[in-house]
Structure 1
Amino acid sequence: MDGNIENNKQWYVIHTYSGYENKVKANLEKRVDSMNMGDKIFRILVPMEDEVEIKDGKKKIIKRKVFPGYVLVEMIMTDDSWYVVRNTSGVTGFVGSGTKPIPLHESEVRLILKQMGVEEPRTKTMYRVGQNIRVISGPFENFVGIIEENHPEKGKLKVLVSMFGRETPVELEYTQIEDA
């Protein structure tokens, strides 16, 4: 750890003893509270999904851990925040190479949160018609386009993307774009 404060929060994966994911989440939330780390450690998630179980001819929906033995933590990585997480009861370590935790890619986090039904907070950035944007996920990834229509209530835009020398209208979600 080099002690540099990254200027943005990112999601990291911590490894836990199997079956202790919810206990680790509760323990870590208590530590964040008691050690005043709320400005560096934000959300702690145990990715779950609904699974239909049929028992005695009856359907029952149960929650199943998507990644048994793992917990996601949204945090700003500093020596202090690393120490708080790493030394929480039940945590065996961060996922990464050697001693350096590696954050999840933003698209991976969006996919996991979407699967869980946890919506990311609405994007604060208001896009406007005529603005240039870059597509960051989906089939048009890395294309640059111009916003033709904006539908903030749906979190969607119609964007003119230049393909093969032609302007092609494409419907995209706010989560699929960034300022160009």
Structure 2
Amino acid sequence: MSDQARWYVVHTYSGYENKVAGSIENAVENRKLHDLICEVRVPSETVTEIKDNKKREVERKIFPSYVLIKMVMNDETWYVVRNIRGVTGFVGPGSKPVPLTDEEVARLGVEKNEIEINFEVGDNVSIIDGYFDGFIGKVTSIEKEKGIVRLTVSMMGKDVPVELSLDQVVAFV
């Protein structure tokens, strides 16, 4: 069932995001809905704030008043989520929940696709996408957390630095 799960957006009262997420997780535990409601997230980021000449790390919600839920939509799951205290409804026309598209999920960074790399600094790689498609480059650095690889490509006898995403290159065979 979990392969049929899609991401939905739930609107909540302001400041209730974490309470709603916790309540949904408790409902999933109590009603044994693990196969129908897979994941609950409150998207947030850590920001460095400077106040009164003091630096501190603050957790800030990216989408205040919204909670993202990966679930299989049916009458039971709709009822469970809709009746959690603090939930005002699903995002969609009327009260009909509309799942996020794959493009929206990718843009929001909700799901991180782990890219497995089989090359390291100093290796030659083949570029398989983009402007430099078909070129061979030498890896100078890899930033796996950002999904970036930097390499030098030889063009007209000169080494040109290039920055590409990890999915644009493969190990040269």
For 1:154 and 1:31, locate their aligned partners in 2 and report how far apart those are by CA, in whole Å.
42
Match of 2:69 among 73, 87, 109: 73
1:47/1:112 contact within 8 Å kept: no
Q: Which residue number in structure 2 is paired with residue 9 of structure 1?
A: 5
What does 1:42-121 correspond to in 2, within 5 Å?
42-113=38-109, 120=112
1:22/1:46 contact within 8 Å kept: yes
Instruction: Specify the SS of the correspondent of 2:85.
Output: coil
Match of 2:133 among 154, 168, 175: 168
1:15/1:69 contact within 8 Å kept: yes
Instruction: Specify the SS of the correspondent of 2:4.
Output: coil
Instruction: Specify the SS of the correspondent of 1:97.
Output: coil
CA shift for structure 1 position 172: 5.5
For 1:160 and 1:109, locate their aligned partners in 2 and report how far apart those are by CA, in whole Å.
22
Render the CA deviation track for 1:7-53: whole Å, top value 9, x for unaligned.
62111000001100000000000001101111010111111012221
Q: Which residue number in structure 2 is paired with residue 31 of structure 1?
A: 27
CA shift for structure 1 position 120: 2.5
Render the CA deviation track for 1:85-135: whole Å, top value 9, x for unaligned.
111111110000123211112232233336xxxx63637xxxxxxxxxxxx
Q: Which residue number in structure 1 is paired with residue 128 of structure 2?
A: 159
Task: Decide which structure has the larger Cα Rg and report it.
Answer: 2
Q: Which consecutive residues of structure 2, in runs of 5 or more, have no partner in the other structure?
A: 120-125, 136-163, 168-173
Runs of 4+ in 1 over 4 A off after TM superposition: 170-174
Amino acid corresponding to residue 112 of structure 1 in structure 2: L
Pair 1:26–1:6, CA change in 2 (3 A) = closer
Q: Count residues with an aligned counterpart.
A: 135
For 1:42 and 1:76, locate their aligned partners in 2 and report how far apart those are by CA, in whole Å.
8
1:20/1:90 contact within 8 Å kept: yes
**What's the TM-score once normalised by structure 1's chain length?**
0.63
1:6/1:77 contact within 8 Å kept: no
Match of 1:40 among 22, 26, 36: 36
1:15/1:94 contact within 8 Å kept: yes
CA shift for structure 1 position 168: 3.4
